[in-house]
């Protein structure tokens, strides 16, 4: 997909509802505004760090016993690195670091690490294709993640012979919006496109919009992966779209392409 970088008017007059957490939502909103769009930031997932537990401290202090460390999101990577700063002034040598996608890998790289990431894609499935995660002989793998999440990575690595420790660092929850706030975002704002970059975000959107008179189902909804696109279609959305990457500029490009296609009479999602 072509990356949008310079056209400041390609989304003029368009309204985009951004449902991702902060601060990513406001950062993405600025990118859309630079392309001429009107935005409404309406996070449908919030995150908060979990309090430290004795078990988590023990895991952190035994970091040198692990061979591989995986962060499932940029937020997980940042929280993990904050804890490591406290307990490991100098990180153990020989660790293999991984980010599920480019954004997560970037968060690790900014700390001075050299993480591996999928050549293509930004999902657990893509990460698990890496040759260095294909076979294990009892090596320990640490997975920094949220309190709840997909078990695919853990189950697959265990089946491949790894000893996997999941380390929950944060919890996710849906903000407690009033009926007026929901109506303002979905009915009054009347978005031309919706950004929902996780299955949990999409589920919360579906639940909150059940009693609204919106017409979102015919609008492009930007989702992160085919699995979530299938979930969106099953819920009644007719135009789920997967961007070229989850970089802000590629998300903007995906919306511009979808809306331009509709203007041209195709109305067809990728």
pLDDT at 5 over 90: no
CB 266, CB 17: distance < 8 Å: no
User: What number does CATH give the domain 15-45+175-263?
Assistant: 3.40.50.10090
- Residue range 48-172 forms a domain whose CATH class is alpha beta
| Strands lying side by side in the sheet with 46-49 | 46-49, 163-173, 140-146, 68-71, 96-99
Note the pLDDT tens digit of each residue in 124-152. 888 999 999 999 999 999 999 998 777 88
List the one residue out of 87, 36, 32, 96 whose CA is nearest residue 58: 87
pLDDT at 166: 93
Note the pLDDT tens digit of each residue in 32-86. 999 999 999 999 999 999 999 999 999 999 999 999 999 998 899 999 999 998 8
Does this model's pTM top 0.85? My answer is: no
Q: CA 186, 188, 189: angle at the middle one, nearest 5?
A: 70
| Strands lying side by side in the sheet with 38-41 | 38-41, 15-18, 193-195, 221-222, 240-241
List the one residue out of 192, 161, 207 whose CA is nearest residue 254: 192
pLDDT at 267: 38
In the DSSP assignment, the letter for residue 190 is -
Is residue 270 very low, low, confident or very high in pLDDT (cuts 50, 70, 90)?
very low
The reply to whether 48-172 shares the fold of 15-45+175-263 is yes
R_g of the chain computed on alpha carbons? 20
Is residue 120 very low, low, confident or very high in pLDDT (cuts 50, 70, 90)?
confident
What are the domain boundaries of the chain? Answer: 15-45+175-263, 48-172
Note the pLDDT tens digit of each residue in 163-203. 999 999 999 999 999 988 998 998 889 899 999 998 899 99
In the DSSP assignment, the letter for residue 191 is -
pLDDT at 159: 93
pLDDT at 30: 95
List the one residue out of 261, 199, 256 whose CA is nearest residue 230: 199
């Amino acid at each position: 997909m072509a990356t949008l970088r310079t056209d400041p008017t390609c989304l003029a007059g368009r309204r985009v509802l951004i449902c991702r957490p902060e601060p990513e939502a406001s950062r993405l909103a600025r990118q859309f505004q630079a392309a001429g769009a009107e935005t409404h930031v309406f996070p449908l997932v919030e995150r908060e760090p979990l309090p430290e537990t004795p078990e988590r401290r023990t895991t952190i202090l035994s970091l040198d016993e692990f061979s591989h460390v995986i962060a499932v999101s940029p937020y997980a990577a940042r929280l993990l690195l904050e804890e490591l700063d406290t307990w490991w002034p100098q990180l153990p040598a020989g660790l293999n670091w991984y980010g599920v996608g480019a954004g997560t890998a970037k968060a690790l790289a900014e700390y001075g690490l050299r993480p591996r990431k999928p050549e293509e894609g930004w999902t657990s499935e893509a990460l698990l294709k890496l040759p260095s995660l294909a076979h294990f002989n009892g090596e320990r793998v640490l997975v920094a993640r949220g309190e709840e999440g997909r078990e695919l990575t853990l189950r697959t690595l265990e089946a491949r012979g790894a000893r996997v420790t999941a380390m929950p660092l944060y919890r996710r929850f849906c903000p407690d919006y009033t009926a007026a706030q929901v109506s303002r975002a979905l009915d009054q704002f009347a978005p031309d496109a919706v950004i929902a970059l996780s299955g949990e975000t999409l589920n919360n959107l579906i639940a909150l919009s059940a009693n609204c008179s919106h017409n979102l189902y015919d609008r492009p909804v930007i989702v992160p992966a085919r699995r979530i696109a299938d979930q969106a279609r099953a819920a009644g959305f007719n135009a789920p779209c997967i961007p070229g990457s989850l970089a802000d500029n590629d998300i903007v490009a995906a919306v511009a392409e979808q809306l331009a296609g509709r203007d041209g009479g195709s109305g067809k999602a990728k």
